Amino acid sequence: MAQMSRRQCLAGLGSIFASSVLAGGAPTWAVAPKPYHFDISLAQWSLNKSFFDKSLSTLDFPAVARTSFDIGAVEYVNQFFMDKATDSAFLTALNQRAADHNVKSLLIMVDGEGDLSVVDDKRRRQAVSNHYKWVEAAAHLGCHSIRVNLHGSGRAEDWHRSSVQSLSELSEFSATMGIKILVENHGGFSSHGAKLAGVLAQVDSPFCGSMPDFGNFCYQRASGDLWDSPCVKEYDIYQGIAELMPYAGAVSAKAYRFDSEGNESQINFQRIFNIIKAADYRGYVGIEYEGHELSAEDGIRATKKLIERIRGELA
């Protein structure tokens, strides 16, 4: 018997479907699409003051996420346990704390380990090497990713080339442990949506992606990389989110303040979540509250309530 081509096979299946519909019903194998859904996580940075003043420790974080906010997944920040990346006893204890409260460890946000986009190749390779231990720590904790930075300076072309090289090398290493390398729009060229998307497209690895953040699209400040310096050029938030979502392995829902109806007053969450849904993203959305009008705890709760309301509307 001659082998049926893919086109003939699809045509045959189409005929079966059409006959079934004409007969008055859908084929028995037809499956209704699942309602749209994503899960909510908590970024450790939301409580950064408590971790910086040591009123909370990283070992406390899983319990706080579950008991204070009823959130079952967390995103760690390496700044709060910089000396623990290779401390097996600490990582094992953190695993146990998370398990005790039925909390998933999702990722580690990595800062302070060198510039992955620097032109100087010796410094660039050292920065890549510095990140290896955090990949291994993430694997120990059962995370799916680490978040890295590509701030950049100088010429955009040089930043692009160095970034592609570093991400390619780092994701090749992380792939052996099943860990993804996610880049957040987090200052400099990385906050220019099209430029960061161009880097990720060239790396073209299933172990390298983005972590779109709702609030970090200032790509040029009056005084270089100083975060408290006035923003000179800001990329369109909604365009940037749309450009980064095809590569998203995590999403950071940044919030600052809320109006009387519980909406974020500076960022149109509904519009952003429509973009996220259009990308059919079904992973975790992490709460990262950075406001000053509410306490950290109340800000987290307000952000969670807003996200849950929008999630219900989109389902």
Query: Which residue intervals of 101-155 are DSSP H helices?
Result: 121-141
Show the tokens assigned to 120.
Answer: 């100087």
Q: What is the 8-class DSSP label of residue 125?
A: H
Q: State whether 159 and 10 are in the same domain.
A: no
Residue listed under structure tokens 């849904």: 277
What are 104's strand-pairing partners? 73
Which residues, 6 or more positions from 224, have their beta carbon under 8 angstroms from its beta carbon?
153
Do residues 128 and 216 share a domain? Answer: yes
Asked if 227 contacts 238 with a C-beta cutoff of 8 angstroms, the reply is no
Regarding whether 44 and 13 lie in a shared domain, the answer is: no
Cβ neighbors of 50 (< 8 A, separation 6 or more) are: 56, 296
Euclidean distance between CA atoms 165 and 124, whole angstroms: 9
Q: What angle do CA 74, 75, 79 make, to 5 degrees?
A: 130
d(CA 180, CA 148): 10
pLDDT at 33: 79
Domain of residue 95 covers 36-314
Distance separating alpha carbons of residues 53 and 180, to the nearest angstrom? 31
Q: Residue 290 contacts by C-beta under 8 Å, 6 or more apart in sequence? A: 45, 46, 215, 254, 255, 256
Does one domain contain both 25 and 121? no
pTM across the whole model: 0.89
Indicate if 24 and 41 belong to the same structural domain. no
Q: Are residues 86 and 23 in the same domain?
A: no
Q: Are residues 28 and 144 in the same domain?
A: no
Residue 23 has a pLDDT of: 44
Dist CA 1 CA 190 (whole Å) = 57
Residues of the chain scoring pLDDT < 70: 1-30, 224-227
Residues 261 and 190 in one domain: yes
- What total number of domains does the chain contain? 2
**Same domain for 257 and 180?**
yes
Residue range 87-146, pLDDT digits in tens: 999 999 999 999 999 999 999 999 999 999 999 999 999 999 999 999 999 999 999 999
For every residue of 47-90, DSSP letters joined together read: GHHHHHTTSS-GGGHHHHHHHHH---EEEEEGGGGGGGTT-HHH
Q: What is the rounded CA–CA span in Å between residue 199 and residue 168?
A: 10
Q: Residue 240: which CATH number?
A: 3.20.20.150
> What is the pLDDT, as a whole number, of residue 297?
98
Please report the pLDDT score of residue 19 as a whole number: 40
Say if residue 149 is in the same domain as residue 170: yes
| Whether residue 256 sits in one domain with residue 203 | yes
Residue 258 and residue 306 in contact, taking contact as beta carbons nearer than 8 Å: yes
Instruction: Kindly give the pairing relationship between strand 145-148 and strand 180-184.
Output: parallel
Q: What is the DSSP string of 279-295?
A: TT--SEEEEEE--SSS-
Average per-residue pLDDT in the chain?
Answer: 91
Per residue in 213-240, pLDDT (tens digit) is: 999 999 988 886 666 789 999 999 999 9
Q: Are residues 152 and 256 in the same domain?
A: yes
User: What pLDDT, on a 0 to 100 scale, did the predictor assign at position 225?
Assistant: 65
Choose among 48, 45, 106: nearest CA to 72. 106
